[in-house]
Structure 1
Amino acid sequence: MSDDAGLQALREAARLSPDNLPLRQHLAGQLLAKGYLAAAEAEFRAALVLAPKNPDILAGLAEVFVRQSSYGEALAALEPLLATPGYPPRLGILAARALMGEGDMGRAGYRYFEAISRDASLADAELAARLTPAIAGSPRPTPPEATTAPQPLYAAPASHPSPADSATAEVERGGLTFADVAGMETVKEALRIKLLLPIQQPDLFAAYGKRAGGGVLLYGPPGAGKTHLARAAAGELGAAFVNVGLADILDMYVGSSERNLRATFDLARRNRPCVLFFDEVDALAARRSDMRQAHTRQLVNQFLAELDGVDQSANEGVLVLAATNAPWYVDAAFRRPGRLDQPVFVPPPDGAARAAILRILLRDKPLAEMDFDAVAKVTEHFVGADLKGVVDRAVEAKLQQSISAGRAIPLTTPDLLTAAKTVRPTAVREWMATARNYVMHANDSGAWDELMPWVKGKW
């Protein structure tokens, strides 16, 4: 993107005029057209802050999600638009692709053929070929618009059996500790005080009426190590770890997502002390004011009820860690005391932390004398995931040399420096641009004051 003068000019204009909605929409559309999906997503999200219900922005964001294979998020963005009579046919094509990605071929077929019946120019032979077998041998799905009440994209026929009421997440036990997490001392200290010490020193905390348990919301740019940190917290305690993904909770049948959530909390309670980790929690705990469907609001209500527990000791010994790249989309009720009441920013690593991450990533590999600080200096704005990519590329190149030589050749500093030139940092800049919009223009409550020094930095 750095070699595209037109895009750079648009980005600079948007930076100088962050409240210019048409400019942001145009920039987002250009980024999407040229395939810069992470940057396009950030700009569409920033535009949504200015116009939360703008259909063009929602449609653009949905297209980004489809192209990123984030089909569930695409469907969530499209749902309110498709409930409007006479919606643009191109949205039906997007919905078809997203539903196909989710495996719902019947509804995908309906959306596709309904769309091209209104605009034949949108026909896609490849997509039609994949969808036609799915609907050839089954009844044509009932159009959602024909029902008496709006139906979610995930709704199943009423006669379809419900899935079993059981948790699909699994209990893990690993050896990671905070020693395996480079840097982030402030974050680790916050977790120690909030979650770990009440279990490690129960008598002292009991004297002050503090129970073992509670929740913390980890937020920050993608790839900064939130999941790694959660696993390390469990290892630090020798506790069970339950990693909850969206697929473990979200279900196409109305009411099943709530049952899955309850079963997951019950699993953690049976294995206490336990760290219960929810990744991408904004998909499960989104702002209810933004939701049109009652069943999606009910999932948020169920989540809040599980965090509270049926009595004071229900969640004792259950440490809830939640992670998100978009904390501003999480319902404010989750930040009430006793729930996820302590948002903790997981920042991108500084130079010293990047050097420490590289040491950890390379500690079990054959090495010559290494200058980790030199590599850290040329990997500014890299997060842990980016640095792992650098190491992987350096290892692949060195393996080829070792195979030719018939022996293991140690990695060197030039190997890492060469690999670093081939890896571009992920969406930290884009994430900071989005965060800047919230900090500067949507922070009346002061919830994001912690980010102020970062968004004013050189991002």
Structure 2
Amino acid sequence: MTRTIDGLITALNASPDNAPLLGLVLETCLREEAWPEARALLTRKDIDLNIADAKTQLVLAKLLNRIGEHQILMDHCTLDTAELKLEQALALKALDQAEAAKDRYREAVEANPTLEDPDTWGSVSPREREVAGTKLRVFSNDQTDETEIRRLLEPDQRRVVFEDVGGLEDVKKQIRKRIITPFEKPSLFVKFKKRVGGGILLYGPPGCGKTLLARATAGECRASFFNVAINDVLDMYIGESESKLHALFENARNHKPAVLFFDEIEALAGKRQYTRESTSSKLVSQFLAEMDSMSSHNEGILLMGATNVPWAVDPAFRRPGRFDRVVFIPPPDREARRAILEIHMMGRPQEADVRLDIIAQKTSGYSGADLEQIVETAADMAIDASLDAGKEVDIGQAHLIRATGEVKSTTVEWLNTARNYARYANEGGQYDDVLAFIQKHGK
């Protein structure tokens, strides 16, 4: 192969102004790692390194970095391309211009995200590592007491409002009327001897926005939001679960106005006739006692619960003064599905001709979580295409349609189960909303 390079260099000697031939020589030297030949060629005075072709200039830059001629690179390789900026970043680092090197690397990655590489960043900035993502909060497994509960349940400062929730307009109106307005105009309700707060139970298929709606309700009320997970309450030691539950309510009372949200509430408020363990019954009784305390001592606290199986919740929780407002959260309709897709597509690189209304039409019965998964799957497809192409590929209609075919609705099984309860166990009309939804939308 040295003979081939020697032959090309001989031809270039006869015609040093032949730009295509120079490009061929440079590509051959880079491919064959012929560094001595490249150094001898690129330090010659009769070779013009002011190359206009972007591909050839990139090859030249890579060669100059390999042979250590970094200043020549900065002088002659000046085209505004992402790949060239990456080579310039390496050259600047070698020239002891660390800050300029980091800036040039960021410019390259911003122009073409497929160029991002931890090793390259490490060589440009060896003492610094950027890690994307959220910070982890780690808690020691020490004794269970109110102090630990407070650490776990510091109010979430991120404010979510109804605009962040796609669809559910009827439910939003109902919550605004019954929940938010009392928080905004407490004097009016005090005059009518109506207290601010209370309890509301959200139920419906999984992934339809119950948790997000609860967070948005807190945001609209400008109240502290406490998201209580099951493991924040349940404990293997007798009496600890009740103590934790009491501490949670006390913590919320100290942050009025507050929204205390229990997800998967059936795990803490299950029907007592179905449990053989007295500890579970005691926890339910403690929960009921805390809610009764809310009615007399906890004005300004809104208790919200969410469940996928409302038929498993103890009926005592629906007594007036406890969860006296029960709201069905159905799968989103067509307009809501489009709104949800728009929210999840926001800020992502996408083609101008993407038609989310078509995707919304094809996804009847899909939950909000299903729609989010469609967007995530389409984004994965676009990322794979970007890696294959070596440049950024936007999310297109084809990606979304393919993703819709791969992601299946997860609400069908729940609706089939709920239909049986709505038809045969609808005491007091508690599942009338479910029955109306099924009758309106068919099977």
Distance 1:432 1:222 in 2: 10
Map 1:350-389 → 2, pairs under 5 A: 350-368=333-351, 369-389=353-373
Q: Hey, what's the Cα distance between the residues in 1 that align with 2:420 and 2:207?
A: 21
TM-score, normalised by the number of residues in structure 2: 0.64
Report deviation, 1:189.
1.5
TM alignment of 1:330-345, pairs within 5 A:
330-345=313-328
Going from structure 1 to structure 2, the CA distance change for 1:413 and 1:270 (only over 3 Å counts) comes to same
Alignment map for 1:175-186 (pairs within 5 Å): 175-186=159-170
**Contact 1:257 1:299 (8 Å CA) reproduced:** yes
Output the amino acid matched with 1:389. Q
Q: 1: CA distance between counterparts of 2:284 and 2:264? A: 14
Provide Cα deviations, 1:64-109, integer angstroms capped at 9, x if missing partner: xxxxxxxxxxxxxxxxxxxxxxxxxxxxxxxxxxxxxxxxxxxxxx
> 1:105-130 CA deviation, whole Å, 9 max, x = no partner?
xxxxxxxxxxxxxxxxxxxxxxxxxx
Q: Name the residue aligned to 1:13.
A: none
- Name the structure 1 match of 2:442: 458
**Contact 1:162-1:253 within 8 A present in 2 as well:** no
Residue number in structure 2 paired with 1:209: 193
- What's the CA shift string for 1:34-57, capped at 9, x where partnerless? xxxxxxxxxxxxxxxxxxxxxxxx
1:219 matched to 2:200? The reply is: no
1:32-431 superposed matches below 5 A: 163-166=144-147, 167=149, 168-309=152-293, 312=296, 314-368=297-351, 369-426=353-410, 428-431=411-414
Q: CA deviation at 1:169?
A: 3.2
| CA spacing shift, 1:274–1:359, aligned 2, 3 Å | same
Conservation of the 8 A alpha-carbon contact between 1:173 and 1:235: no
Bigger Rg, which one? 2
Cα 1:269–1:406 change in 2 (3 A) is same
SS in 2 for 1:206: helix
Q: Structure 2 unaligned segments of length 5 or more: list them.
A: 1-141
Give the CA deviation at 1:261.
Answer: 0.4
Matched positions, count: 297
| CA drift at 1:256 | 0.7
Distance in 2 (alpha carbons) for counterparts of 1:398 and 1:162: 48
Residue 226 of structure 2 aligns to a residue whose secondary structure is: strand
Q: How big is the shift at 1:435? A: 0.7
- Contact 1:355 1:376 (C-alpha < 8 Å) held by counterparts: yes
For 2:427 and 2:313, locate their aligned partners in 1 and report how far apart those are by CA, in whole Å.
Answer: 16
Using the alignment, how far apart are the partners of 1:440 and 1:381 within structure 2?
Answer: 20
CA RMSD of aligned residues (A): 1.7
* Structure 1, unaligned runs of 5 or more: 1-160
> Which secondary structure does the structure 2 equivalent of 1:171 belong to?
coil
Shift of 1:405: 4.0
How far residue 404 of structure 1 moved from its aligned partner, in angstroms, is 4.0
Calculate percent identity across the aligned residue pairs.
44
Distance of 1:165 and 1:266 partners within structure 2: 9
* Letter in structure 1 aligned against 2:221: L
- Distance in 2, matches of 1:310 and 1:238, equals 19
Whether the aligned pair in 1 keeps the contact of 2:198 and 2:295 (CA below 8 Å) is: no
Task: String of CA shifts for 1:141-192, please: whole Å, max 9, x gaps.
Answer: xxxxxxxxxxxxxxxxxxxx97334524342121211001111011112211
The separation in 1 between residues aligned to 2:231 and 2:294, in whole angstroms, is 25
Counterpart of 2:409, as a letter, is P
TM-score by length of 1: 0.62
Aligned partners of 2:226 and 2:259 also within 8 Å? yes
Deviations 1:420-441 (A, max 9, x none): 1111111x11111111111111
- CA contact 2:294–2:301 (8 Å) conserved in 1: no
Q: Distance in 1 between matches of 2:154 and 2:187?
A: 31
Provide the secondary structure at the position in 2 that maps to 1:309: helix
Instruction: State the alpha-carbon separation in 1 of the partners of residues 257 and 285 from structure 2.
Output: 25
